[in-house]
Copies of this chain bind each other. A is one copy, B any other.
Amino acid sequence: MTLKVQAAESRIEQLCIEHGLKMTGQRRVIARVLSEADDHPDVEELYRRALVLDSRISVATVYRTVRLLEEKGILERRDFGGGRARYEATEHGRHHYHLIDVDNGKVIEFEDPEHEAFMMKVADRLGFEFVSMRLELFGKKRQPASKAPGKTTPRSRRKGDQT
C-alpha cells in the first residue's frame, strides 16, 4: 500500500492558488505554517516555524510573503501592542475579535455574529465596500481578591509575548 505523503494542499495554499499566485516551495511552507497556526504569530515566529519544515527559507521571504498575502486579503495584520505585527488568516463572514490583557499581553478571542454585519452596514452607509476590520479590546483581569497590582512590565522589546 502506498502512503499519501503530505500531498494535501493547506487551506491557505488553496487560497493562494485561487488568487493566481505562483506557488513556490517557500510559499507552500509558509502557507502551511499559517494554516496550522491557531494563534497570532509575528514574522519572527512564522520564520521559526517555517525553518522547521524547510531550512532554506529566509526571513526576507517571510516578510515578502505576508505582505503579499495581506494585500490579497488572505491574511490580516494585527497589532496587539508588542511592537511587532502579528498575522492570522482571514475568516470571511465570521470575524472574531481580540481582548488583550494589558497586564500580560495574553489574547482572548471572542465572537459576535451580529457585529460584522453591522460593520458592513456602516461601511455601506459611508459609501464604502467592506474589505476587512479589526476590533481590539484592552482590559485588566477583574477579581482583585488577593495580591497587590505589581508593576510587572519589563520595559524593553519583549520578545516572547503571548498568543
Q: Which residues of chain B come closer than 8 Å to A129, judged between CB atoms?
A: 139-142
Min distance, Cβ A35 to any Cβ of chain B, angstroms: 23
Q: Which residue of B lies closest to A81 (CB)?
A: B77
Contact B137–A123 (Cβ < 8 Å): yes
Chain A contact surface mostly: strand
Specify how many copies of this chain sit in the oligomer: 2
Given A79-B79, A81-B77, also A131-B140 (CB < 8 A):
yes
A-B contact pairs, 13 of them (CB 8 A): A77-B81, A99-B123, A99-B126, A102-B131, A112-B122, A123-B137, A128-B141, A129-B141, A129-B142, A131-B140, A133-B137, A134-B135, A134-B138
